[in-house]
Structure 1
Amino acid sequence: MSFLKEILNRPFFIKLFNWEYWSFHTVYTPIYIYWVWLCIRARSFFFFNTANPAIKNGGFLMESKKEIYDIIPPQYYPKTVLVKAGSAFSVVQQTMQQHAFIFPLIGKPDIGMRGLSVKKLDTERDVQAYLQTSKVDFLLQEFVPFENEVGIFYYRYPGESEGHISGIVGKEFLTVTGNGIATIEELLQLDKRYILQLPVLQKTYGKTLKQILPLNENFVLVPYGNHARGAKFIDLTPLADQQLSGIIDAVCKNIPGFYYGRMDVRYNTWEELKRGENFSIIELNGAGSEPTHMYDPQHSILFAWKEIIRHWRILWKISRLNHKRKKIPYMNFSSGIQMFRENSAYVKLISPE
C-alpha cells in the first residue's frame, strides 16, 4: 500500500489524475473548434483585440502591465514603477527613494504570464540581484500586506449601464504548518500540490527547507496567489451578491476602455471588500484572462470546458459590439501572427533556465 502511495505521489501521476495540472493545450485542445466557430462568425481570427480598447491587443498577449496600471485610478492599486532592463542599480535606488518605497517589494516582468519570474524582494540586495538577472523590463511594486486574495472575473457589454461578475476564485497561498517534528521539506511532501513545487522551492530556499517548524507555526513559501506556483484555487462565485457586484462594477467603470477580464485583488476582510474598503488591485488581465475559479479541485474538466466556452462567448459578443458600435478594427492576420511570435520569444526570456 505504501509502495502504491509512493507511486501516486510522483509528479507524473499527480498531474495525470488531477486535470488542474494538465498543460494549457491539453485542457484547451478539445474545445478549440468552438473558438474557430467564433472566429468564423466574427470574420476574424483575432477579434479579441477590440474587447478592451484601452489595452494593447485587448489584453490577450504582450500587453504592458505598467500601461494597464496607468489607466486604473491610483487609489486602487499598490505603488508601482517600471524598471528598464539593464538599468544601473544606482538609478533604481534613486527611483525607490523618490517614491518612498517600503520593503518588501514584488518584482515581476512588465509583460508577464502565469507567475513566471515573479519574486518577493525583501532587501535592496534582492532588488539588485533581480535587476542583474532580468532580461526584460520589469515592475517594482510594493507588497500589499492584506492576507487574503481573490480573482474576480468581470464583464460589461458596451452600451449597457451595469457590468457583471461571472466568477470569483479564492486563493490559498502555498503554506505549511509546523508540528515541531518534521522539516519544512518533509511537510511539503505531505501535499501533492506542494510536491510539484519542490524543485523550485529547493532552489529558492535551499537549506531553509531543512529547518523544523515549531508546533502550529505557519510558514508562507509563496506569498501570492498563483496556481502555477502552488496556490490552491477555491470557487467562491456564489459570494457574488448585489453589494459586491455594485462595488466591482463602480471600480471597473472608472477604468477607461475596460469591458472584459479578471482582476486579482488583495483584501483585508470580505465585509470590507464588499464596502469597497481596504483592498488593492494587484493585477488586471484582459482578453486573455481565464475563468480561474474552474481550477477548484472539486470541479471536473467538463465544468472547466463549460466555463471556458461561456466566457469565450462573452468575449466574442463584447468584441463584436465594440467593433460595430465604436468602429474599432479587428487585428489583421499578419499582426496577429506576429503577436504570437513575439509572445513565444518573450516567454523564453522570462522562463527559468
Structure 2
Amino acid sequence: MVENRTSALKKIEKEEADFESREGLKSKLLEEAAYRRGYKAERLGFDTMILTLHGKELLFRDMNGPLSSAAMMRIVDDKYRARQLIKRQGVTVPESTYLRIYERDEIKAFAHKVGYPVVLKPNDLSRGEGVYTNIASDEELDEHLDKIAGLIGSEFSKILIEKQFNGDDYRFFVVDGKVLAASKRSRANVTGDGEHTVLELIEEKNRLRKQNRDLKEFLIPTDKDKLERLYREGRTLETVPEKGEYIVIRDESNIASGGDGIDYTDTAHEAFKEIAVKAIQSIPGFHYGGVDIITNDITLDPKAGDYVVTEVEFSPGPMSMFHWKGEQRDMANPVLDFYLKNLDKL
C-alpha cells in the first residue's frame, strides 16, 4: 500500500513537472488562455486536453486542434516533401536532396555539385537535433554522417543534404493568413565585459535564462564537444573577451541550442511576411504554424537569392511569447480565436 502511494505521488510530481516542460508548456499556455476567457479545459495528459468552446468539445495536443490533421503533421514534419510543396508556390527553398545515410557516394556527389559548405539534417527530428552545418570537405561529411547514424541508430534512415545558405535565422508565426510574430533566432552568444571568461559569461547568462519560463529548459551548454564554433574561431571557455565583444558560441541557431529569440515583428519587411504566409498556405489545409527563413536582412525587400525558406513547423515552440529581447507576442489567444471563428466547421 505504501509503495503504491509512493508510486502515485511520484507519478503526480512527474506530471506536474511535465506541465512545465517546453513540450507541455505549449499546451499549458493554451489552457491558461482558455481559462482566462471562461472556457473549460479538461487535462488528459501533459500535452493533451479537451477545450469546451460554446458547448463543443475540441481535442488539442499542444496548440494543435481538430483543424490540424495527422496527415498534415506527417507532411509538414517531412522536411523534404514539405519543401517540394513550398517550392511549387514560387517560394525559394535550399537546393537539397534526400538520401539514405549509407549512400555516401551519392551524398558526396551532390556536395560536389552544389559546392561546399553543406548542411546535413535528419528529415524528421526536431530542436536542431542531429543538424550539422559548415561541412566543408568529404572527410567532414563522413565524420558527421557517422554521428547522425549513431544518433538515429541506423544507416538506412534518410537525411537531407543541402547547400548552406549563410545568414540570420528567423521564425515567423502565421495564423489564418496573418503573421503574428517574427523572431530572430540568434545563435548562442555572450558579450564580453573585459573581466570574465567565456565560461563565467555563459554561467551568468544561464542564471538569467533560468528565470524565463521557456528558456530555463534550454541553457547554453558548457560541454566542449558542443561548442565547435567557439573553438574553431580560436577561443576557449577560459578566453576573456574584450568589453562589448560579441562572441557566437554555436553554429546552431535554434532556442534549444541555447539561442535567443529577438522580436522583429514590427520591423520585418512586408514582403517577407507575404512569403511566410505563402509557405504556410502551400500545405493544403494548413491554417497556422511556423515558417523558418534565412536571410541577411529581414527589414529589406527580398530579391532573388536573398533568402531561403528552410522549413515550416507544425507545432512551433512558444519563442515569441518569451523573447530574450523585444516585445512578447502572444500565440495562444490567436489560436483560440481561430477555433472560435471556425466552430461551425467542426
Closer, same or farther: CA 119–90 of 1 in aligned 2, 3 Å:
same
Percent identical: 16
2:307 maps to 1:293? no
CA–CA distance in structure 2, aligned partners of residues 128 and 277 of structure 1? 29
Query: Are the aligned partners of 1:175 and 1:220 in contact in 2 as well (CA < 8 Å)?
Result: yes
Query: Are the aligned partners of 1:233 and 1:292 in contact in 2 as well (CA < 8 Å)?
Result: yes
CA–CA distance in structure 1, aligned partners of residues 193 and 299 of structure 2? 32
Q: How many residue pairs align between the two structures?
A: 285
Question: Match for 2:96 among 70, 77, 80?
Answer: 80
Question: Match for 1:153 among 170, 173, 184?
Answer: 173
Query: Are the aligned partners of 1:50 and 1:319 in contact in 2 as well (CA < 8 Å)?
Result: no
1:273-292 → structure 2 map (5 Å cutoff): 273=301, 278-286=306-314, 288-292=315-319
Please list every run of 5 or more consecutive structure 1 residues that lacks an aligned counterpart in the other structure. 1-20, 157-162, 324-353
Query: Are the aligned partners of 1:273 and 1:279 in contact in 2 as well (CA < 8 Å)?
Result: no
After superposition, what is the alpha-carbon deviation per residue over 1:290-320, rounded to whole angstroms, capped at 9, x for unaligned?
A: 34211214799xx78x632432552686697
Closer, same or farther: CA 210–253 of 1 in aligned 2, 3 Å:
closer
The residue number in structure 1 matching 2:146 is 132
CA–CA distance in structure 2, aligned partners of residues 318 and 277 of structure 1? 38
Query: Are the aligned partners of 1:66 and 1:139 in contact in 2 as well (CA < 8 Å)?
Result: yes
CA–CA distance in structure 1, aligned partners of residues 332 and 187 of structure 2? 24
Query: Are the aligned partners of 1:154 and 1:261 in contact in 2 as well (CA < 8 Å)?
Result: yes
Closer, same or farther: CA 38–202 of 1 in aligned 2, 3 Å:
farther
The letter of the residue matching 1:152 is F
What SS does structure 2 have at the residue aligned with 1:198?
coil
Query: Are the aligned partners of 1:262 and 1:284 in contact in 2 as well (CA < 8 Å)?
Result: yes
Closer, same or farther: CA 68–297 of 1 in aligned 2, 3 Å:
same
Query: Are the aligned partners of 2:174 and 2:180 in contact in 1 as well (CA < 8 Å)?
Result: yes
1:184-195 → structure 2 map (5 Å cutoff): 184-192=198-206, 193=209
The residue number in structure 2 matching 1:117 is 130
Query: Are the aligned partners of 2:267 and 2:299 in contact in 1 as well (CA < 8 Å)?
Result: no
Query: Are the aligned partners of 1:171 and 1:232 in contact in 2 as well (CA < 8 Å)?
Result: yes
The residue number in structure 1 matching 2:23 is 24
Question: Match for 1:106 among 115, 119, 140?
Answer: 119
Say what the alpha-carbon RMSD is for the aligned residues.
Answer: 4.0
What SS does structure 2 have at the residue aligned with 1:238?
coil
Closer, same or farther: CA 169–186 of 1 in aligned 2, 3 Å:
same
CA–CA distance in structure 2, aligned partners of residues 30 and 153 of structure 1? 16
2:342 maps to 1:314? no
The residue number in structure 2 matching 1:91 is 106
The letter of the residue matching 2:105 is S
After superposition, what is the alpha-carbon deviation per residue over 1:111-131, rounded to whole angstroms, capped at 9, x for unaligned?
A: 021222222242322221222
2:91 maps to 1:69? no
The residue number in structure 1 matching 2:221 is 198
Shift of 1:92: 1.9
The letter of the residue matching 2:161 is L
Shift of 1:152: 0.8
- Which structure has more helix as a fraction of its residues? 1
Query: Are the aligned partners of 2:190 and 2:247 in contact in 1 as well (CA < 8 Å)?
Result: yes
Closer, same or farther: CA 264–319 of 1 in aligned 2, 3 Å:
farther
After superposition, what is the alpha-carbon deviation per residue over 1:183-237, rounded to whole angstroms, capped at 9, x for unaligned?
A: 5434433422599322445444497524636646644222342111111112333
Query: Are the aligned partners of 1:178 and 1:218 in contact in 2 as well (CA < 8 Å)?
Result: yes
Query: Are the aligned partners of 1:150 and 1:265 in contact in 2 as well (CA < 8 Å)?
Result: yes
What SS does structure 1 have at the residue aligned with 2:56?
helix
CA–CA distance in structure 2, aligned partners of residues 66 and 294 of structure 1? 29
Please list every run of 5 or more consecutive structure 2 residues that lacks an aligned counterpart in the other structure. 1-19, 32-40, 43-48, 211-217
